[in-house]
Chain A
Amino acid sequence: MIKLHHAPHTRGMRVIWLCEEMGLPYELAPVPFPPDDKYRARNPIGSVPFLEDGDVAMNESTAMLLYVAQKYGPTPLLPAPTEPCFGRVMQFLIFGETTITMWINVMNLALFFAPDDAKQNWSVQEAARRAGAAIDYLSATLGESDYIVGDRFTVADISCSFPLAVWRRLHRRPLPPNLATYMKRCESRDAYRRGYDKQKDIAPATFG
């Protein structure tokens, strides 16, 4: 069975959400904060989430989404390569982590770890501008659609909604109106609610 080392408000929620959408069983394990030597022996960078499944060990959440969807699929959340929307799903699965979250990471690092006089340094302001531009691009490409590929909910939506949640809740920044509605739509899905409730009390809240 999939074992997910997780802390609330981390990318682990992506994997929980997918498992719930697919109806898969999974075990949640709290991660000590800061991570102890025992945890680091299994995941040398001490990051969260960390997935174990038999001999498999992974610490990249978007790779976990593809792994779970393929290993335990097929699932409508991951189109086959022969479907016309395959390219777009891959694009936004990755975009949600790399292009948006890359800049939000910079904001997170400063928020949690920088001394007061560095919390709004040039790089943080630049990161906020670049993250905002990536979010505007997502807003434009979503348009009036329910989900990233029309009315079909996919792993691309699971990937992209994570940084949008961090942007809004942690950094208290507004989302474009269509993305605010989109987030409500995504987070009101039964699978999200079930997964959220299962994980919310497992450990002290951490970000990163």
Chain B
Amino acid sequence: MKVFHAPGSRSTRVLWFAEEMGLPYEVEAGSIMAPSPALKAANPAVTLPCFIDGDVVLTESMAIIQYLADTYGPTPLAVKLGDRRYADYLQFMYFGEASLAAFITPLVATRFRAPDDQKENFTAQACRAMFRGRLKVIDAQLTKHAYIAGDDFTAADISIAYALTFGSNFGLAEVFSPAVKDYLAKLQARPAYQRAAEVKA
């Protein structure tokens, strides 16, 4: 399998999960601003990650994780139907992208590419406020369990941890509660995360 990757992008989730599962993978540098012909051919939308495994081409990080778990598992990192944690697992797997990271991407686009007098516009402020509001759900969950879907680490933690890391890279760590900060530090200390974060594409 091959992953088009850039450090800090959502492809980090895929590398992290593959590292946790001990799966071999090949990395190719992926640039959104200056995409290679290979990336454009594989993913006309030019987003990262782009994942290729035989005939399968996937560009959604959470879909790739699910695909890897179902194709190369079983793995305790993917909670199965019938487990009492199953609903929480699904909920937070998606929440990390749709309800957290989704507010950071427009903020980053505005920060880097908008004209100077637009960098703190209504949208930037609204995205920051929405992200902060959504963190209440994470706080509530962390009062119940050590990890987001229960007492053990799962792929849902990878989804959430990426969104929190992405946010903290762009100045949002200041709105994290102590519980969220501790949770993120614990996840970032995992050897599999460290290995994934060190991959230079």
Contacts and interface: CB of A to CB of B under 8 A. Distances in A.
A and B, one complex?
A: yes
Interface of A: 44-45, 47, 53, 55-60, 62-63, 66-67, 70-71, 81, 86-87, 90-91, 93-95, 97-99, 101-103, 105-106, 109-110, 113-115, 118, 121-124, 126-127, 130, 133-134, 137, 140
Contacts of A90: 58, 60, 63, 66-67
Contacts of A115: 122
B81 interface: yes
B56 A60 contact: no
Nearest to A94: B60
B188 to A, nearest CB: 23
B169 interface: no
10 contacts: A44-B136, A60-B94, A86-B67, A102-B106, A113-B122, A121-B123, A122-B110, A122-B121, A123-B109, A123-B118
B44 A137 contact: yes
Contacts of A103: 106
A196 B64 CA distance: 32
Interface string B117-138: 0100111101100100110110
A94 B127 contact: no
B136 A45 contact: yes
Interface in B121-161: 121-124, 126-127, 130, 133-134, 136-137, 140
Nearest to A56: B87
Contact of B63 (A81, A91, A134): A91
Given A106-B106, A126-B113, A98 B60 contact: yes
Interface string B74-98: 0000000100101100110111011
Nearest to B71: A81
A63 B91 contact: yes
B173 interface: no
B199 to A, nearest CB: 23
Contacts, number: 140
Nearest to B45: A137
B97 A98 contact: yes
B126 A113 contact: yes
A207 to B, nearest CB: 14
- Using C-beta atoms within 8 Å of the partner chain, give the interface range for chain B: 35 or more
A102 B91 contact: no
Given A45-B137, A113-B126, A63 B67 contact: no
A32 B140 CA distance: 22
Given A45-B133, A109-B130, A134-B45, A124 B123 contact: yes
B122 A62 contact: no
Contact of A58 (B81, B90, B130, B136): B90
Contacts of A87: 56, 58, 63, 67
A63 B93 contact: yes
B39 interface: no
